[in-house]
Amino acid sequence: MYAKVYNLKFAGLSEAKVAATFCSENLGKKIVSFNIRSLNISIGKCGSLAISLKFENGSDLKKFEEQASSFFVELKDTFVYKETNFSGIFVYNYDSEIISTDISVN
């Protein structure tokens, strides 16, 4: 799995919450077109926002990086924040499935 990780630092929690909604709506619409396998957006209480995307192969990651730049230009035009980002390969990843095994009999 290939990854793209963005760490955004906003002035406060309120700004990060609004930006998280913006990111969720806009990146969520790109899941199918960029073949995104996983999208996680998390907010820290200090006003930080972390966006983690997973891709099955490097070509999907590269396509995302090339074509999603307009999203980040719009984000920068709308919000004031500091950004760091990197591309990488997942070395270890664990996600559990939450399922219910309860059976109710009427």
CB atoms under 10 Å from CB of 2, counted, come to: 19
What is the tally of structural domains in the chain? 1
pTM above the 0.85 mark?
no
**For residue 79, what is the DSSP state?**
-
Q: Is residue 97 part of a domain?
A: no
pLDDT-based confidence at residue 6 (cuts at 50, 70, 90): very high
Q: Is residue 35 part of a domain?
A: yes
φ/ψ of 43, rounded to 5, equals -115, 135
What pLDDT was estimated at residue 42?
A: 95
Whether 85 and 51 have beta carbons less than 8 Å apart is answered as no
Q: Is residue 34 part of a domain?
A: yes
CATH number of the structural domain spanning residue 12:
3.30.70.100
Structural domain of 53: 2-89
Helix pair angle (69-78, 58-67), 10° resolution: 40
